[in-house]
């Protein structure tokens, strides 16, 4: 483990600082961060600009096996989220624990290369392929934990309450048989993960969605977790059809229902929240809950466009996620948070806030995502700040988009003068997991991933 890291330039709260000395405690967290210091003897020298790593606040690891494989449309049938979901179920129904571990390990190496050092795994794949409980109900959860440990990424496992197929469908469909988990099961899974004591492993809770969990079960989980300090995630208002169904079943929109039940508080993170009204945004702000936006997946699935200016103006924490894994690049997610709004509103620099001293779109997006990501992962702090885990990214100063860029515009160029290049070096808890773009286990992990993909897609 490092004890001292010196960076000629680092992105600290407030912007770039020069000649920064970062000290790492024995617990793998930043002990002290001091700008305007010469490098002391024995300190390791960062090989480029140092930036905070990102939290991937929403991931379904098994869907990495499906990324890029739903991009055709047969016949005259329209294609949307719901038809994509039916095809995705085919992978969910047959992936084994060993294949899940292989797929997740490949994903987690890719996420590290893409700038994420912590992943919040929204985990709803629970049972065996026949829909029967494993002898250890956490068999698939441990497969994800093993994959994260091999890759060297931090993992927040979020076992998901999932018990019905829809607002008016009280049971799961046959193709959803592997997802069954009640409130007590989700609570017990989170407790076991938290008590396991594995390095870089923590747990929160998840509710798949209002359509997939009955109100009585959601309230039961609320009661079980009354003193729980970890994060609670839920898919909500992702699709306009979901909003319409919720209105028909409850008389309220999904976010409106959650707020009206008194459920929302700072532990809650609303994933997608694509179809939210300004009144609902104000309610989320009042509750101090956060939102998780996944622009590459939301675009890929045709979800719609979240009201990023509304969320930012209200001061709601906005984290980012890779979700269906069509992109594993944190910079791309941040870039498309902004680009989606530019296309929709036909204006530029929508995320910038010069009135509050934040004229840089890139700086505001990064700072918001870093801060909100900490809460989404259940971390007390995040980024290049004292007390946060000693995670960091070293940019490749030789990347084409950064060459010749004035020093003060480096972050702007990194986000908006793509294409993105993998990070040169990646630090997790004071240890390098990627050096000069290389992960030590990448080749072995890729071989197992390829074998798992062959078995999944050849019927073997």
Residue with token string 């030590």: 440
Q: What is the 3-state secondary structure (H, E, C) of the chain?
A: CCCEEEEEEEEECCEEEEEEEEEECCCCEEEEEECCCCCCCCCEECCCCEECCEEEEEECHHHHHCCCCCCCCCCCCCCCHHHHHHHHHHHHHHCCHHHHHHHHHHHHHHHHHCCEEEEEEEECCCCCCCCCCCCCCCHHHHHHHHHHHHHCCEEEEEEEEECCCECCECCCCHHHHHHCECHHHHHHHHHHHHHCCCCCEEECEEECCCCCCCHHHHHHHHHHCCCCCCCEEEEECCCHHHHHHHHHHHCCCHHHHHHHCCCCCCCEEEEECCCCCHHHHHHHHHHCCEEEECHHHHHHCCCCCCCHHHHHHHCCCEEECCECCCCCCHHHHHHHHHHHHHHHHCCCCCCCEHHHCECCHHHHHHHHHHHHHHHHHCCCCCCCCCCCECCEEECCCCCHHHCCCCHHHHHHHHHHCCCCCCCCEEEECCEEEEECCECCCHHHHHHHHHHHHHHHHHCC
CA distances from 37 to 22, 42, 223, 393 (A): 10, 14, 50, 20
58 catalytic per annotation: no
Closest C-alpha among 232, 308, 247 to residue 272: 308
Annotated active-site residue in 323, 367, 391, 396: 323
CA distances from 321 to 12, 137, 377 (A): 22, 26, 11
Annotated active-site residue in 58, 235, 272, 439: 272
Closest C-alpha among 259, 304, 248, 261 to residue 281: 259
Are 7 and 30 within 8 A, CB to CB?
no
323 catalytic per annotation: yes
β-strands 4-12, 15-24 pairing: antiparallel
Residues with catalytic annotation? 272, 323
């Amino acid at each position: 483990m490092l004890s001292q890291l010196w960076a000629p330039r680092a992105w600290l709260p407030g912007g770039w600082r020069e000649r920064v000395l970062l000290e790492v405690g024995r617990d793998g967290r930043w002990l002290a961060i001091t700008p305007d210091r010469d490098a002391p003897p024995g300190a390791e020298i960062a090989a480029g600009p140092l930036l905070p790593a990102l939290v991937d606040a929403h991931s379904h690891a098994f869907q990495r096996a499906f990324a890029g494989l739903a991009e055709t449309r047969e016949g005259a049938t329209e294609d949307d989220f719901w038809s994509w979901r039916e095809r995705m179920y085919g992978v969910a129904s047959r992936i084994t624990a060993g294949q899940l571990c292989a797929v997740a390990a490949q994903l987690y190496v890719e996420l590290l290369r893409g700038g994420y050092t912590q992943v919040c795994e929204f985990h709803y794949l629970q049972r065996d392929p026949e829909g029967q409980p494993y002898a250890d109900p956490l068999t698939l959860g441990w497969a994800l934990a093993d994959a994260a440990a091999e890759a060297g990424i931090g993992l927040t496992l979020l076992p998901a309450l999932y018990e019905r197929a829809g607002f008016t469908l009280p049971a799961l469909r046959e193709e959803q048989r592997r997802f069954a988990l009640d409130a007590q099961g989700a609570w017990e899974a989170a407790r076991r993960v938290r008590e396991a004591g594995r390095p870089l492993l923590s747990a929160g809770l998840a509710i798949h969605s209002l359509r997939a969990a009955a109100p009585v079960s959601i309230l039961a989980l609320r009661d079980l977790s009354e003193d729980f300090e970890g994060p609670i995630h839920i898919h909500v208002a992702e699709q306009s059809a979901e909003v319409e169904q919720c209105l028909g079943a409850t008389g309220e929109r999904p976010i409106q229902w959650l707020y009206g039940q008194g459920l929302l508080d700072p532990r809650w993170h609303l994933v997608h929240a694509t179809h939210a009204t300004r009144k609902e945004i104000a309610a989320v702000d009042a509750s101090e809950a956060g939102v998780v936006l996944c622009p590459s997946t939301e675009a890929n699935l045709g979800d719609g466009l979240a009201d990023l200016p509304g969320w930012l103006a209200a001061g709601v924490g906005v984290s980012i996620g890779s979700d269906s894994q069509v992109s594993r690049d944190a910079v791309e997610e941040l870039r498309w948070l902004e680009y989606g709004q530019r296309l929709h509103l036909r204006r530029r620099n929508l995320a910038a806030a010069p009135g509050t001293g934040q004229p840089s779109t890139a700086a505001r997006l990064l700072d918001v995502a870093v801060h909100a990501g900490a809460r989404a992962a259940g971390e007390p702090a995040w980024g290049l700040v004292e007390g946060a885990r000693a995670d960091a990214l070293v940019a490749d100063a030789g990347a084409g988009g950064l060459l010749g860029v004035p020093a003060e515009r480096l972050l702007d160029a990194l986000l908006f003068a793509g294409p993105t290049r993998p990070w040169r070096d990646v630090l997790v808890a004071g240890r390098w997991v990627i050096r000069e773009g290389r992960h030590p286990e990448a080749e072995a992990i890729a071989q197992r991933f390829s074998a798992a993909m062959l078995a999944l897609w050849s019927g073997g």
